[in-house]
Amino acid sequence: MSGDLRTVAYDVLVVGAGGAGLRAAIEASAAGVSVGVVSKSLLGKAHTVMAEGGIAAALANVDDRDSWRVHFADTMRGGGYVNHPRMAELHAKEAPARVHELEAWGALFDRTPDGRILQRNFGGHRYPRLAHVGDRTGLEMIRTLQDHGVHAGISLHMEHTITALFRDGARIAGALAYDRERGRFTLLEAKAIVLATGGIGRAFSITSNSWEYTGDGLALAYEAGADLLDMEFVQFHPTGMVWPLSVRGILVTEGVRGEGGVLRNSEGKRFMFDQIPELYANQTAPDAEEGWRYCQGDKAARRPPELLTRDHVARCIMREIRAGRGSPHGGVFLDIAWIRERMQDSEAHIKRKLPSMYHQFKELAGIDITKEPMEVGPTTHYMMGGVRVEPETQMSTVPGLFAAGESAAGLHGANRLGGNSLSDLLVFGKRAGEYAARFARQSTPSKCDRAEVEAAERRALAPFDGATANGEGPYALQHELQTAMQDQVGIVRREDEMRSALETIDQLRARAELVRVYGNREYNPGWHTALDLRHSLTVSEAITRAAIERRESRGAQFREDYAEKDPVLGKVNIVVRKGADGRMVVARDPVPPMSDEQRTIIEEMK
């Protein structure tokens, strides 16, 4: 079986070449250990490249009232207070230094008139806080990290997919990869592994996420014995494209609303003024006039309700659609063109501030956003849940296994604020790299059990075996899973529907074990999908079980059958792990307590 198995050993193996993976690899390499990076796609194609709006960091360049304390309080409030407070504190404190570092490495941010990094408004952030490069911030970030990383002596395995992790006793020992082009296996042995594999959006049918987001890192960690946390909290971004159908789900950045874009229903009403949550009442503009002044940088003005947190805006949009006040293609209207009433050069301004959005709608929908409103609706966007990690080091509950970026959990709690992901990648990517290197330096080499490796190879090749496979292809199963998750574990949830989804997932898992692919191992997308599907099934089950367990509505989780917050559940995180019998176990763990200083900040900022 392992006749053609190549073996490579590193001190630190990083799985993922997005912002988190590259930042971790740079840090580990700087610590003097050998580093390998594996990525499903080509370098430069990771999901981070798609990020648009910006990186949240309390630089206070545009509003000097901003500070790490305000950023911390905003993040906790947005997360429904089930975030890990220490992670939120580290993130708020360290993000400015990470942005400056990125600038020193060559990132060219938009500028204030006096030459500092420009910051823009985004939902849930009290002050303009997002450092950005037009609406192409992710591209600049990944370009900068790549340029820096390739000079740091990191070994790259592009277009390689990890299908299994191995342990040596309790600690992590290595990973099995197949190369997508030729279908050959490589065993990557490592003293420490950093998972930076991003999110899970492809488990749903409407999503802003790329093909890579099949939840691999989460499923691999779960199978290796690590805890998953907050899996019920899947973010549905309020504004994805809804038309034409072929582009449904593609993101429309929150930056549109940050620049003054407003949401209207089919009656032309700005419906976001109808329902302002208690927690945000004293921070929200009472009328359109004050909201516009906020978008123009008036420090005395409060933000318009379109810039409330994503969970709330998404639910308000759903309310309008369900009440029959939606747009012709099942969304609502997002209008930035209206600013011509306030601005002479509005057309040039929109094209300068939102070049990708202008291009996206022009090319894909034949709409000129400087002249007409867009049609938008919620889209599966981001995973707040993921691998449970220790805040300072990012180590999971498996010694030597680390996680960072979207694949890790804790920072965002029940709902992520826009811009807090790119800063998360930098802050915790750096920490993961640093502590993984430290762990590796203090460890003796670990060994992967050859029998386990061979079993993993056999399992990966099973879909080619005509004798055991039942002839069903992987795409139909993937489609069925996406439909079940979208319809029954989506933006509005109910216990009976989620229980039905669990039954579907169970049946699909049995069928996925027998799935059949044709052709050979060389660049075979059917085979790749068959393997990715297993990961998506694991994360889908974890999401559904955790969502059933949280019988309340908080942040991104909206339960029609438990529409209110439950103070008891507000004190717990839901944990998912593999039980001794191989079945998924769901448990409740207390939310880590806040320090006295953190509590004081929250009280002061209310």
Ligand X SMILES: Cc1cc2nc3c(=O)[nH]c(=O)nc-3n(C[C@H](O)[C@H](O)[C@H](O)COP(=O)(O)OP(=O)(O)OC[C@H]3O[C@@H](n4cnc5c(N)ncnc54)[C@H](O)[C@@H]3O)c2cc1C
Q: Which residues bind ligand X (CB under 6 A)?
A: 15-21, 38-41, 46-48, 50-54, 137-138, 161-162, 196-198, 208-209, 212, 216-217, 251, 382, 405-407, 418-422, 425
Instruction: Return the exposure string of 179-202: e unless at least 16 CB atoms fall within 10 Å of the residue's CB, then b.
Output: bbeebebbbbbbbbbbbbbbbbbb
In the complex, the smallest distance separating the C-beta of residue 532 from ligand X, rounded to whole angstroms, is 8
Q: Looking at beta carbons only, is 199 or 586 nearer to ligand X? A: 199
Q: Where are the beta strands (DSSP E) in 183-258?
A: 185-195, 228-229, 234-241
Q: Looking at beta carbons only, is 48 or 394 nearer to ligand X? A: 48
257 tagged catalytic: yes
Q: Is the dihedral of CA 553, 559, 564, 569 positive or negative?
A: negative
In the complex, the smallest distance separating the C-beta of residue 482 from ligand X, rounded to whole angstroms, is 16
Q: Looking at beta carbons only, is 47 or 264 nearer to ligand X? A: 47
Residue 481 Ramachandran class (φ > 0 left, ψ -120 to 50 alpha, else beta): alpha
In whole angstroms, give the CA distance from residue 281 to residue 149: 45
Q: Looking at beta carbons only, is 67 or 210 nearer to ligand X? A: 210
Catalytic residue among 237, 302, 412, 516: 237
| Element (DSSP H or E) covering residue 488 | helix 474-488
84 tagged catalytic: no
DSSP 423-456: HHHHHHHHHHHHHHHHHHHTS------HHHHHHH
Q: Which two tokens stand for residue 223?
A: 């199978």
In whole angstroms, give the CA distance from residue 571 to residue 552: 12
Residue closest to ligand X when measured from CB atoms: 18
Cα angle vertex 391, ends 385, 397, to 5°?
Answer: 70
Q: What is the 3-state secondary structure (H, E, C) of 497-558?
A: HHHHHHHHHHHHHHHHHCCCCCCCCCCCHHHHHHHHHHHHHHHHHHHHHHHHHCCCCECCEC
- In this structure, are residues 51 and 144 in contact, taking their beta carbons and an 8 Å threshold? no
Q: Looking at beta carbons only, is 63 or 223 nearer to ligand X? A: 223
In whole angstroms, give the CA distance from residue 394 to residue 434: 10
Catalytic residue among 157, 167, 257, 493: 257
Residues recognised as catalytic: 237, 257
